[in-house]
Amino acid sequence: MGATVCCHECHCTRSNPPRCQCDDIKPQCHANCKLCRCTRSQPPQCRCMDVTSFCYPECSSSSVTSTDE
């Protein structure tokens, strides 16, 4: 669990404060992730299940596009 803290697919509710969650699936969760879920496949597919009041910055080097919501 030492991946860079960034997110391509972050979705937030319209509540105040917002409840945001990153929907990225990566080989490992970032170091700040408190609740990481991974498949047992090789390579693993992991997703950070944390709900925060913000979105992490967009990842800079990947072919995945982001959506703004």
Verdict on whether the full-model pTM lies above 0.85: no
Q: What is the pLDDT of residue 21?
A: 96
- Provide the domain count of the chain: 1
pLDDT band at 60 (very low <50, low <70, confident <90, very high): confident
Domain extent for 27 = 1-58
- Identify whether 16 is part of a domain: yes
Whether residue 68 lies inside any domain: the answer is: no
For residue 26, is it within any domain? yes
User: What six digits make up the tokens of 58?
Assistant: 């967009």
Closest Cα partner for 5 from 33, 38, 40? 33
Instruction: Answer yes or no: is pLDDT of 64 > 50.
Output: no
> Is 24 contained in some domain?
yes
Across residues 1-25, what is the average pLDDT? Answer: 87
- Where does the pLDDT of residue 5 fall: very low under 50, low under 70, confident under 90, or very high at 90 and above? confident
Cα 44 from Cα 28, distance rounded (Å):
7
Q: What would the two tokens of residue 4 be? A: 């860079």
- Give kind and range of the element (H or E) at residue 33: none
User: φ, ψ for residue 21 (rounded to 5)?
Assistant: -145, 135
Whether 51 maps to a domain, the answer reads yes
Polymer length of the chain? 69
**What is the CATH number for 22?**
2.10.69.10
